[in-house]
Amino acid sequence: MRPCHSIALRWSPVLAWLGSTSAAHAGMAMPTFTDIARARLEVISFFLLAYLVLAFVYQRLWNSLAREHSRMPRLSYRGALAALVVCGLFLYVVLTMISGARELMTPGAWARSGVLYEIRDPDKDPKPWLKEGRRMSLERLRAELWLYAERHSGTFPTSREAAELPGEARRSIDPNGLSLVYVPGAKPDSGTDVVAYEPGSFGAQRMVLLSNGDIVEMPIEHLALLVREQVQKPVSEVTQKTPP
């Protein structure tokens, strides 16, 4: 009994320490996915499941038709999967060709880069796209004004209020819907008078439509000077003809 008693006394502190410890954590660390990876895995799993189900439905429909038409071969599940893969690749090629044709036919979508051309990205370089849109708004107004001149003996509208033009033709690309500023008094295809220009929200450089049909970009100081001279021209001519 003494050896057992001595052994118990020897190991009693160890047993007391083990009994007083809290719950032990053991085991290997489990790798987990991030939220984005988990979401993508769920989406891929859903589409794979849907693909397998569609292949089963396709096989059943094909075989139901094969029962009524003896010339049609029976289709296995593997054949149904292969048929769906081929159809999916065919549709992918067709949609890619449609998307490429749309990009090729978009005006201003391609920019020269050395000896080759590359497609422009409006998110990376919005300036060419913005400038093209500003020019197109003045081109639309130019077409309407020249059509108006053909119908009215070669003259433009005499005032901004009397401009018989649709509101869409005079609208700029300003997000607030500001209209292009029309300057009366010019004649079509004659001189370089200012016919219309962009409103004040476009900054110090404005796109300007001239009476010869050109669309140019000029600083606001030069534009203000031209418009002031053009507006005061009829008044000065009248004062010169008035007798003293």
- Mean of the pLDDT values across residues 34-54? 86
Residue with tokens 């060419």, as numbered in its chain: 128
Query: pLDDT: is 121 or 226 the higher one?
Result: 226
Instruction: Say whether pLDDT at 162 is over 80.
Output: no
What DSSP string runs through 92-118?
HHHHHHHHHHHHHHSTT-EEEETTEEE
Residue in 231, 196, 228, 229 with CA at minimum distance from that of residue 213:
196
Instruction: Say whether pLDDT at 147 is over 70.
Output: yes
Yes or no: say if 186 and 230 are a contact pair by the CB < 8 Å rule: yes
Structural domain spans, the chain: 36-105, 126-233
Buried-state track 179-201, b at ≥16 Cβ within 10 A, e below 16:
bbbbbbebebeeeebbbbbbeee
Q: What is the mean pLDDT of the chain?
A: 76
**204 φ, ψ to 5°?**
-80, -20
Cβ neighbours of residue 108 closer than 8 Å, sequence gap 6 or more: 120, 128, 129, 132
**What per-residue confidence (pLDDT) applies to 56?**
92
Query: Is the whole-model pTM more than 0.85?
Result: no
pLDDT per position as a tens digit, 55-110: 999 999 999 888 888 888 888 999 999 999 999 899 989 988 887 777 666 655 66
Both tokens assigned to 44: 């891929």
Confidence band, pLDDT 50/70/90 cuts, at residue 238? very low
CA gap 134, 180 in Å, rounded: 10
Query: pLDDT: is 17 or 207 the higher one?
Result: 207
Lowest mean pLDDT among 81-95, 107-121, 126-140: 107-121
Query: pLDDT: is 48 or 3 the higher one?
Result: 48
